[in-house]
Amino acid sequence: MDITTVRSYRVARTRADLKLSPGETLIAGGTWLMSEPQPAVTGFVDLTGMGWPDLEETEEGLRIAATCPIATLVAWAADAPPEWPAASLVPDAANALLASFKIWNTATVGGNICRAFAAAAMVSLCVALDAEAEIWRAGEDVRMPVSELITGNGMTALAVDDVLRAVTLPAAALRSRALLRKIALAELGRSGAVTTGRVDETGAAVFTVTAATLTPTVLRFPRLPSADELADAVGSADGYYTDPLGAADWRRAVSGVLAERIRTQLS
């Protein structure tokens, strides 16, 4: 789509270049920005000129640049270190996107997270693995869980001049046994519910619900819960909502079904 209101385009190469003028907005892949009119946008500031490495494997875990294309992350997962079996969630999450695999080559991990739709698949991935967001804020670095970064459907805790620099998937979570399941009303439609579950090396279990709730739901247990414990936790969670792609009661019910399937497989 032609964004007819845009009058300027510049490439950011330093942190100082990320200071936005009125009407400017950051762009990386641009798959959402270029998909519909942006009447308030008069200029683009291209993040890709910052030259951030897409992926960095460290002792801390996997650091993913906000500008990393989803396709690059999926390709990494196909040959991920064997001691990180939870990397198998990456292609599952990518396939939960309401987007052709061809879009993966342009759409970025950070863009999907910052757009913060309830069904944002990179949010599902990051929340499932306790990812931490690294945010550049007015000359300082701020870190927060991705689960707390998302404050509503299409809303985040990011201020106007904040920049998501990267997200890190912790090594401890990547070493876990983990599964992701999703459901949609239409075969190729937007996810109505995405549920994940994992069991860490300590035996602790973490289940998450996204897409079905307006903000990520994270449920923690000291061990793998019983069927009744999990059903009660998922069923009593807040934030299930209704829209044309699913009713709240349906989302609540199918999230419980998906969670139990995961629990059974993990046990």
pLDDT value of residue 100: 67
Domain-wise residue ranges, the chain: 8-45, 55-172, 173-266
pLDDT > 90 fraction of the chain, expressed in percent and rounded: 85
CB-side neighbour CA atoms (13 Å) of 73: 33
pLDDT value of residue 116: 95
Does residue 155 surpass a pLDDT of 70?
A: yes
Residue whose structure tokens are 């990456």: 90
Q: Which of 233, 34, 64 minimizes the C-alpha distance to 164? A: 64
Q: Structure pTM?
A: 0.95
CATH topology of domain 55-172: 3.30.465
pLDDT-based confidence at residue 72 (cuts at 50, 70, 90): very high
Does residue 48 surpass a pLDDT of 70?
A: yes
Beta 43-46 vs 8-11: how paired, if at all? parallel
Helices (H), 23-78: 70-78
pLDDT-based confidence at residue 73 (cuts at 50, 70, 90): very high
Give the model confidence (pLDDT) of 238-262 as tens digits: 999 999 989 999 999 999 999 999 9
Question: Long-range CB contacts (< 8 A, 24+ apart) of 252-255?
Answer: 252/212, 254/183, 254/192, 254/193, 254/212, 255/193, 255/195, 255/209, 255/212
* Mean pLDDT for the chain overall: 94
CATH topology of domain 173-266: Enolase-like; domain 1 (3.30.390)
Give the model confidence (pLDDT) of 202-245 as tens digits: 999 999 999 999 999 999 999 999 999 999 999 999 999 999 98
Beta 61-65 vs 217-221: how paired, if at all? unpaired
pLDDT value of residue 104: 85
CA distances to 2, 96, 216, 223, 228 from 180, in Å: 37, 10, 14, 18, 20
